[in-house]
Amino acid sequence: MSLSFLRLSVLSLVTILFCCLLPSVHAPAQGLRAAVVKTDITPENSQWLVGYGPRKSTGIHDRIYHRVLVLDDGSITFCLISSDICLVSPAEYDRVAARVQQELGIEPQNLWWTVTHTHSAPEVGPPGLPEVFMSERYEHEWDREYTGLVEDRLVSSIETALASLVPAKLGIGWGHSNANINRRAIGPDGRASLGLNPDGPVDRRIGLIRVDHRDSDQPLALVANYAIHGTVLGQPHTEISGDAPGIVSAYVEEKIGAPMLFINGAAGNIASIYSTYANPRAGHLSQFQVLLGDKILDANQQLVGTSSEVSLTSGSVTVLTPRKESLGWPEDLAAYSSEAADGTPMIRLPIRFLRVGGQLAIWSAPLELFCEISNEVRDQSPFDYTYYYGYANGWLGYLPTAAAYAEGGYETDVVSAFTPRAGQDLIQAVLGYLHGELRNRQQKPPSAD
């Protein structure tokens, strides 16, 4: 066996760096507490929109928001954020996370900032990797004033939530919706292009978390996890909008009387069934209230077993996996890059985990992930419920399957920084953590109400 072959073999193996976790401690008698805050972040002036080609907003179709949920079990304070934004760079997340830790005391491991991936929302912060993939799209400066507004209102929302914690109980459940479809159309030559593929892999499960006031059946917040591209509205549409995730969230909120955090899933190869239309009417945008909103409400009605005796366990791993050859890398993302011993560039991919009680495990990544990868993790997880939260804590591009690289297309050839090995590296790391550290960590005993 040649030395060069051995080097390649070593490089193809993922290196997993397990981070230190908080020690297990007993929760005090207060039990679970929670708070939710919804804050408007709609710009009042024209902004550069993310998604498609470069274009500026010309008005407002529907307003966009931060929705912030804080959970506290007496040991861990965990903050989940859903923002009606397309993407943020990991550098932007790091800046906000450092500020939240300094001002509010929440550790970055317990601060998850997810975005709904609407393509009709403004840019926020420096572009990050999109500037490497599509440099012609970012010839303008990013708007520091609007970014500051988004950051300030996010930090303020978290502060308000921390000051508003009330006794709570929590339940989980599954739902199902046919509002999405695989978007990698395969031609006669076996090559992929952006389109619709009704025979392609898809994930139509809805993962629900409901938080109620402890002493009543009144909902405090609902979290709905579903994989769908926020692309009902296409490039010709230039009004600010939360797209399908925002429309569905507002619809469900009106029905239940509480905020709903829409958390996107592994939507890298999944479109909305109506996609890239010139205006809301042509794209049947309001129909997603029925296609997805009513399915979330149905699942919410079936959810049972809310409890205040819930403990939280958080953790993280970093996966080192090779980077595409000759791919540039932004200076402000240096923390997400390293080199192998022979100089091969590597990506440092951070994965976060949250265990809620003994049944639910959630993992998140700053990725536009292909659904087959999250489906495989869920199918092999030791937990009854396993959710994947995508577009979390930044964006490091698309992570397709090895088979997708063979088919080519936009997701593999234009907007991925990874090699075909990355999918298996990720699956191995996530399943290893779910079956090992996360499952085996000691559970805190139930609290006394």
Q: Return the pLDDT at 3.
A: 38
Residue that is written with structure tokens 């593929």 in the block: 197
Q: Return the pLDDT at 30.
A: 72
Which range has the worst mean pLDDT, 24-28, 392-396, 414-418? 24-28
Residue 1 has pLDDT above 70, yes or no: no
Residue 305's pLDDT band (boundaries 50, 70, 90)? confident
User: For residues 263 and 265, what is the distance between their CA atoms, to the nearest angstrom?
Assistant: 7
145, 112 Cβ separation under 8 angstroms: no
Residue 304's pLDDT band (boundaries 50, 70, 90)? confident
Residue 443's pLDDT band (boundaries 50, 70, 90)? low
Specify the pairing of strand 385-389 against strand 360-364.
Answer: parallel
- Which DSSP helix (H) or strand (E) runs through 222? strand 219-226
Specify which residues 208 forms β-bridges with.
173, 224
User: For residues 200 and 192, what is the distance between their CA atoms, to the nearest angstrom?
Assistant: 11
DSSP string, 348-390: EEEEEEEEETTTEEEEE-SSEE-HHHHHHHHHH-SSSEEEEE-
* Residue among 205, 301, 214, 311 at smallest CA distance from 252: 301
pLDDT in tens, 226-274: 999 999 999 999 999 999 999 999 999 999 999 999 999 999 999 999 9
Number of other residues whose CB lies within 10 A of the CB of residue 332: 17
User: For residues 25 and 13, what is the distance between their CA atoms, to the nearest angstrom?
Assistant: 35
Residue 12's pLDDT band (boundaries 50, 70, 90)? very low
pTM, to two decimals: 0.92
Per the structure block, which two tokens stand in for 139? 């010839």
User: For residues 411 and 409, what is the distance between their CA atoms, to the nearest angstrom?
Assistant: 6
Q: Return the pLDDT at 441.
A: 77
